[in-house]
Amino acid sequence: MATRLTTPCSSSSTNFSPSSSFNNEAKLFTRFISMPRKYGLSTWVSHIHSKTHARKHFLLNSSNEHPLNAFSLQDAGLAGNPLAKERIEPPGKERPSIPMSEAEKEESTLSITVVGASGDLANKKIFPALFALFYEDCLPENFTVFGFARTKLTDEELRNMISKTLTCRIDKRENCDDKMDQFLKRCFYQAGQYNSEESFLELDKKLKEKEAGKLSNRLFYLSIPPNIFVDVVRCASHRASSANGWTRVIVEKPFGRDSESSGELTRCLKQYLTEDQIFRIDHYLGKELVENLSVLRFSNLVFEPLWSRNYIRNVQLIFSEDFGTEGRGGYFDNYGIIRDIMQNHLLQILALFAMETPVSLEAEDIRNEKVKVLRSMKPLKLEDVIVGQYKGHGKGGKSYPAYTDDPTVPKDSLTPTFAAAALFINNARWDGIPFLMKAGKALHVKRAEIRVQFRHVPGNLYKRNFGTDLDKATNELVLRVQPDEAIYLKINNKVPGLGMRLDRSDLNLLYRARYPKEIPDAYERLLLDAIEGERRLFIRSDELDAAWALFTPLLRELEEKKIFPELYPYGSRGPVGAHYLAAKHNVRWGDLSGEIYE
């Protein structure tokens, strides 16, 4: 099988972008985007230099509402915001180094500042992901990791804290300790207030020390509560933007809690950043099987004719966790499962699943198609949603708490910890096909999967072998995103033997068996993409708007009408209401069908 030889850490787009034909502006600039990987390749830098003027001009005419235009601005690194302009001069002094010599190739630097470094996400995901990238040689040679938070810590203390969560992959044990030490030496800490420009100025100083006058690229990862997003962005943008390279900011959910607050947040962010500096992360899009969804669809002929209402009966997007809020319900209670999982993760997967074939694999092309899906969706009606909340449950002598037993949750909270919804896409491909979503906490399993149920065979010759319910004998494609990544296709098969008994067998691909290598964490992929300027897996403003526009009326209605959630026991299969919702649309949940789950 022919595969392209690429370095293990090239980001998803880099395989393709060099081949783009340079027949228009957008394409031209995508080339720049793919270049930073090469860190200061002379042609790239000189190109920027020579184009600076033109680009600034372009900037004036551009509007952030047109991502393609904004897109073209950013990677000049010269920032599409007024603040950057001030800085265009000083870097000029450093520019004489251009054109760069071979030796100077190494002269660009990358600093990743984790804002909220003492937080949970930072410790569990971000630092380990950065280390994994370092281990795989995916980070540029001159990189620095900065932790930033309010807590006073020394560099040593930060390193000590981080080192506890760093691990090497099972298949990458070699020199693990060595590598860890090398990595930790690149980690530094700066304490400061999130809303203090002075603190960020101080940070800037430190960053500059590390950059030592080289070309500087800066990535800020905001791992902080949403209420201080804007403050941090303001301070970082004003005081700690890169002078001569790029500055990018990764933002984590929640992106607001409805259309208005999200719109407001976007507006505020855009005061200080251009669209293409904002990397809204949805870590589900970084999961291996979600990435593979497009490969599966677009590189296998056998799926091509099947991917429409002609053959697909329904699609199910299922997320479940086998634990509750466990004392951390404070944040969750303000959002609920619909905002926490459905409006972002599941809806993003849905859009990726249902989109038309994009013109290319470029970020803008894909995101354009996704937006089209979101905008084609039928408004959600209250009766197509059911909500649930887990209650206490005693099992095997153990007592599991109710959601409202969580001390951080108000006793009378109506926040759903479970929801199921039927969505429809009013376009030619999907008209009438129910897309069912289900997400819940404190259920019986931990699982995320996509299930595609096909129609039954018209005029099936083997009808009588299936009993009365033909729908139970249809094909089903399952992409199990986690745990135990797998793809399987349920087919009807003859049970070997002298009779003619049919049953359903799986044509399957269990990743663990086929690919013994550990699968990288979603955060690794996304961090690398952000570093390389690959935006495919990040959410564009208009995508976010469309997603909120779909869910906001419903969420408002749920809250205004104080819809009481159906209570379900901790560790159960969720409220039965989900079955009735499915039944209404002639669907049977694939994950609760009595078949043994592998």
Question: Smallest distance, Å, CB 456 to another protein?
Answer: 7
Question: Smallest distance, Å, CB 36 to another protein?
Answer: 16
**Touching another protein, residues 249-288 (CB under 8 A):** 288
| H helix intervals, 95-149 | 120-121, 127-135
How many angstroms separate the Cα of 400 from the Cα of each of 321, 392, 416, 574?
A: 14, 5, 18, 15
Q: Can residue 482 be called a binding residue for another protein (CB under 8 A)?
A: no
Of 170, 109, 121, residue with least CA distance to 523: 121
Only segment of 80-88, 94-102, 484-492, 561-569 that touches another protein (CB under 8 A): 484-492
Nearer to another protein, 165 or 465 (CB): 465
Using CA atoms, how far apart are residues 34 and 11, in angstroms rounded to an integer? 9
Only segment of 78-86, 151-159, 183-191, 500-508 that touches another protein (CB under 8 A): 500-508
Among 149, 380, 423, 487, binds another protein (CB under 8 A): 487
Give me the residue label for tokens 């491909």: 429
Q: Can residue 456 be called a binding residue for another protein (CB under 8 A)?
A: yes
Using CA atoms, how far apart are residues 14 and 510, in angstroms rounded to an integer? 27
Q: Can residue 462 be called a binding residue for another protein (CB under 8 A)?
A: yes
> Distance between the two ends of the chain, CA-based, in angstroms?
29
Q: Can residue 500 be called a binding residue for another protein (CB under 8 A)?
A: yes
Q: Can residue 597 be called a binding residue for another protein (CB under 8 A)?
A: no
Stated as kind and residue range, the H or E segment containing 374 is: helix 363-375
Nearer to another protein, 312 or 380 (CB): 312
Q: Can residue 509 be called a binding residue for another protein (CB under 8 A)?
A: yes
Of 104, 103, 81, 79, residue with least CA distance to 91: 79
Give me the residue label for tokens 């990595």: 183
Helices first, then strands: H and E counts in the chain: 19, 18
- From the number of C-beta atoms within 10 Å of its C-beta (0-12, 13-18, 19+), residue 309 rates as middle
- From the number of C-beta atoms within 10 Å of its C-beta (0-12, 13-18, 19+), residue 416 rates as buried
> x/- contact string, 19-48, with another protein (CB under 8 A)?
x-----------------------------
Question: Smallest distance, Å, CB 315 to another protein?
Answer: 15
Pairing of strands 247-251, 215-222: parallel
Only segment of 13-21, 189-197, 380-388, 573-581 that touches another protein (CB under 8 A): 13-21
Q: Can residue 96 be called a binding residue for another protein (CB under 8 A)?
A: no
Pairing of strands 108-115, 215-222: parallel
**Touching another protein, residues 527-556 (CB under 8 A):** 528
Among 65, 181, 503, 559, binds another protein (CB under 8 A): 503
**Touching another protein, residues 319-378 (CB under 8 A):** 357-358, 360-361
CA dihedral 404, 408, 410, 411 (to 10 degrees): 40
Only segment of 30-38, 206-214, 342-350, 523-531 that touches another protein (CB under 8 A): 523-531
> x/- contact string, 286-325, with another protein (CB under 8 A)?
--x--xx-xxx-xxxxx-xxx----x--------------
Among 22, 323, 515, 580, binds another protein (CB under 8 A): 515
Among 16, 95, 97, 196, binds another protein (CB under 8 A): 16
Q: Residues 136, 189, 76, 99: is their CA dihedral positive or negative?
A: negative
Q: Can residue 58 be called a binding residue for another protein (CB under 8 A)?
A: no
Q: Can residue 517 be called a binding residue for another protein (CB under 8 A)?
A: yes
Question: Smallest distance, Å, CB 361 to another protein?
Answer: 5
Nearer to another protein, 6 or 182 (CB): 6
3-state secondary structure of 360: coil
Among 54, 212, 382, 495, binds another protein (CB under 8 A): 495
**Touching another protein, residues 123-142 (CB under 8 A):** 133, 136, 138
Among 102, 412, 497, 596, binds another protein (CB under 8 A): 497
Q: Report, in this order, helix, strand and coil percent for the chain, each rounded to 5.
A: 45, 20, 35
Q: Can residue 506 be called a binding residue for another protein (CB under 8 A)?
A: yes
Q: Can residue 475 be called a binding residue for another protein (CB under 8 A)?
A: yes
Question: Smallest distance, Å, CB 461 to another protein?
Answer: 5
Among 196, 261, 334, 460, binds another protein (CB under 8 A): 460
Q: Can residue 596 be called a binding residue for another protein (CB under 8 A)?
A: no
Stated as kind and residue range, the H or E segment containing 393 is: strand 393-395
Of 152, 240, 226, residue with least CA distance to 197: 240
Question: Smallest distance, Å, CB 138 to another protein?
Answer: 7
User: Measured in whole angstroms, how far is the alpha carbon of residue 64 from the centre of its chain?
Assistant: 22
Tell me the chain's radius of gyration from C-alpha atoms: 25
Total number of residues binding another protein (CB under 8 A)? 91
Q: Can residue 93 be called a binding residue for another protein (CB under 8 A)?
A: no
Residue 16 identity (one-letter amino acid): F
Nearer to another protein, 60 or 513 (CB): 513
Among 69, 417, 474, 572, binds another protein (CB under 8 A): 474
Q: Please identify which of the residues 283, 345, 444, 456 carries the catalytic annotation.
A: 345
What is the DSSP track for 265-304? Answer: HHHHHHHHS-GGGEEEE-GGGGSHHHHHHHHHHHH-GGGG
Pairing of strands 278-281, 393-395: unpaired
Q: Can residue 598 be called a binding residue for another protein (CB under 8 A)?
A: no
How many CB atoms lie under 10 A from the CB of residue 553? 15
Using CA atoms, how far apart are residues 456 and 124, in angstroms rounded to an integer? 45
**Touching another protein, residues 413-442 (CB under 8 A):** none
Is residue 49 annotated as a catalytic residue, yes or no? no
Nearer to another protein, 211 or 485 (CB): 485
Residues marked active site are found at 345
